[in-house]
Structure 1
Amino acid sequence: MHPRLNMLKAAPEAIKAVTALENYVQASGLERRFIHLIKLRASQINGCAYCVDMHVKESRHDGLSEQWINMMCVWWESPVYDDKERALLGWVDAVTRIADTGIPDAAFDALKVHFTEEEIVKITVALGAINTWNRLAVGFRNQHPIDKPATKAA
Structure 2
Amino acid sequence: MERITYQDIPDGMFENLRKIESFISSSTLEFKLLEIIRLRVAQKNGCAYCVDMHHKELKEVNETDLRLSSLCVWQEAPYFTEKEKVALTFTEVLTDLSEKPIPDQVYTPLLNFFSKEEICFLTLAIAQINTWTRLMKTFQFTPGNYKVAH
In the alignment, structure 1 residue 52 sits paired with structure 2 residue 55? no
2: distance between equivalents of 1:112 and 1:102? 17
Q: Secondary structure at the match of 2:42?
A: helix
The answer to whether the 8 A contact 1:87-1:107 is kept is yes
The answer to whether the 8 A contact 1:40-1:56 is kept is yes
State the number of aligned residues. 146
* Correspondence for 2:135: 136
* Correspondence for 2:9: 10
Farther-moved stretch of structure 1 (66-75 vs 97-106): 97-106
The answer to whether the 8 A contact 1:7-1:15 is kept is no
* Correspondence for 1:97: 96
- Which digits, 9 at most, give the CA deviation of each residue in 1:88-134, with x for residues without a partner? 00010011111377522211112122111011001111111111111
Structure 1 stretches (4+) deviating beyond 4 angstroms?
none
Normalising by structure 1, report the TM-score. Answer: 0.87
Q: Structure 1: where are the runs of 5+ without partners?
A: 148-154
Q: Secondary structure at the match of 2:98?
A: helix
User: In angstroms, what is the RMSD of aligned CA positions?
Assistant: 1.8
2: distance between equivalents of 1:97 and 1:82? 22
Q: Structure 2: where are the runs of 5+ without partners?
A: none
Q: Secondary structure at the match of 1:98?
A: coil
* Correspondence for 2:111: 112
